């Protein structure tokens, strides 16, 4: 039982976690690093369960003041055409652009051209949650210790298309398996900053996308480590859980659908120009699964929203990960629900560790005074990996494989049902 907001913390991992070489010549393993990075979880006792924690996010505290410069990237993939916005954490500036979120302004062409560097500072690439952006408070809490007050990290946030006041310039929107933009940013960062170790963290929908990306890349992943926070993992299970309860359907699913409808409305002209979506039917949507039925199935050719959920889920991707990977989830999360967490998959892959807390809600983990607990294990893990682990010694290992079958079969965790017909 949890008393006065003191949450229980548990770890799920392989019996033989990934061995890591330290810079001092000794060795440790991934589980030990995750355990050492995770402080006690003492949350606000007045926010006593996942629903109250989650609903408290509606209270708009200011959060840490992160300043950004934005760059619009032109997609380099023929199928996934269009543009997307990346916000880079920068020193405070006085520029004001009313068309962008607070404290955000565009890079000048000259300043962006000077961004390339051969320094070896660690760099973090961040993915936000559904309909969010770089301005989200939960995200700023997590990156503030890394980017502010002398933090040694470079940080950028990949905004999903149309989010954070970015424009939609093609018929390609975002979805839960939309790994193309983060892949392009990682590849760009690898070229632009050849000596920087690259890391990534994703939140909620962004955690699902990041998990899929790392799984798709497998041993070729250019990230040194990644963190998935409040990942829904199995989207079909999570969505059915939302529809099963009054709060799930009438509060969470309804609110998320409303936010997505607002996003579509902001880009009405472009959506009507570049897609065959039925705008009037989208306006009649009430719940998230209805939105996905009207938008994701039509955009991508899925026969049903459940087919989309199954294809976009990242639970199987856990098996294909070949870099140090930490997942952080709250067991009372009413959106990324307990039933969707792939516990067994984490026990099969030495490169992965799952950290669960008994309290925390969805992207909440509110402490007394308004702090967010999740920021501490995120920053501790990243700093530990960047400063104490010999990242050059990391090498892919043949783990996450299914047991050998008695028949001529093989399980490929990243096999996808949606085929890309042009590349």
Q: Which residues are catalytic, by number?
A: 204, 333, 362
Structure tokens at 37: 């990075």
Q: Residue 79 contacts by C-beta under 8 Å, 6 or more apart in sequence?
A: 172, 420, 421, 422, 423
Cα within 13 Å of Cα(327), Cβ side: 36
Calculate ∠ Cα 96-101-104, nearest 5°: 50
Task: Return the structure tokens found at 18.
Answer: 């990934």
Cβ-contact 264, 294 below 8 angstroms: no
CA 111 to chain centre: 28
| Structure tokens, 420 | 């890309």
The whole-angstrom separation of Cα 320 and Cα 140 is: 29
Pairing of strands 83-90, 67-74: antiparallel
Q: How far apart, in Å, do the first and last CA atoms of the chain sit? A: 52
Q: Taking each helix axis as running N to C, give the angle between helix 235-244 and helix 305-312, from 0 to 180 degrees, rounded to the nearest 10.
A: 130
């Amino acid at each position: 039982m949890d008393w006065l907001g003191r949450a229980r913390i548990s770890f799920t991992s392989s019996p033989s976690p990934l061995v890591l070489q330290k810079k001092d010549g000794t060795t440790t393993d991934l589980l030990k690093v995750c355990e050492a990075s995770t402080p006690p979880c003492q949350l606000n006792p007045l926010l006593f369960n996942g629903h109250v924690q989650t609903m408290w996010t509606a209270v708009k505290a200011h959060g840490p003041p992160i300043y950004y410069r934005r760059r619009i990237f032109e997609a380099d993939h023929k199928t996934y055409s269009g543009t997307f916005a990346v916000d880079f954490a920068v020193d405070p500036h006085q520029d004001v652009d009313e068309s962008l979120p607070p404290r955000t302004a565009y890079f000048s062409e000259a300043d962006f051209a000077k961004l390339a560097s051969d320094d070896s500072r660690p760099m973090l690439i961040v993915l936000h949650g559904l309909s969010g952006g770089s301005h989200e408070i939960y995200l700023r809490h997590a990156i503030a210790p890394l980017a502010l007050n002398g933090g040694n990290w470079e940080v950028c946030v990949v905004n999903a298309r149309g989010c954070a006041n970015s424009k939609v310039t093609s018929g390609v929107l975002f979805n839960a398996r939309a790994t193309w933009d983060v892949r392009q940013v990682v590849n760009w960062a690898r070229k632009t900053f050849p000596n920087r170790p690259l890391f990534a963290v994703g939140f909620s929908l962004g955690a699902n996308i990041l998990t899929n990306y790392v799984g798709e890349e497998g041993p070729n992943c250019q990230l040194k480590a990644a963190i998935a926070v409040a990942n829904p993992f199995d989207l079909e299970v999570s969505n059915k859980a939302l529809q099963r309860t009054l709060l799930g359907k009438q509060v969470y699913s309804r609110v998320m659908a409303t936010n997505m409808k607002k996003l579509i409305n902001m880009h009405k002209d472009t959506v009507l120009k570049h897609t065959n979506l039925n705008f009037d039917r989208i306006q009649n949507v009430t719940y998230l699964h209805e939105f996905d039925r009207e938008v994701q199935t039509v955009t991508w050719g899925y026969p049903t929203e459940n087919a989309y959920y199954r294809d976009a889920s990242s639970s199987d991707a856990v098996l294909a990960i070949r870099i140090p990977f930490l997942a952080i989830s709250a067991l009372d999360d009413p959106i990324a629900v307990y039933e969707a967490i792939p516990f067994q998959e984490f026990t099969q892959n030495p490169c992965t560790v799952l950290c669960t807390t008994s309290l925390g809600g969805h992207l909440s983990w509110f402490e007394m005074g308004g702090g967010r607990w999740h920021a501490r294990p995120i920053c501790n893990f990243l700093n530990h990996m960047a400063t104490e682990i010999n990242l050059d010694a990391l090498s892919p290992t043949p783990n996450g494989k299914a047991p050998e079958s008695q028949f001529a079969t093989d399980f490929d965790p990243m096999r996808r049902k949606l085929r890309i017909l042009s590349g």
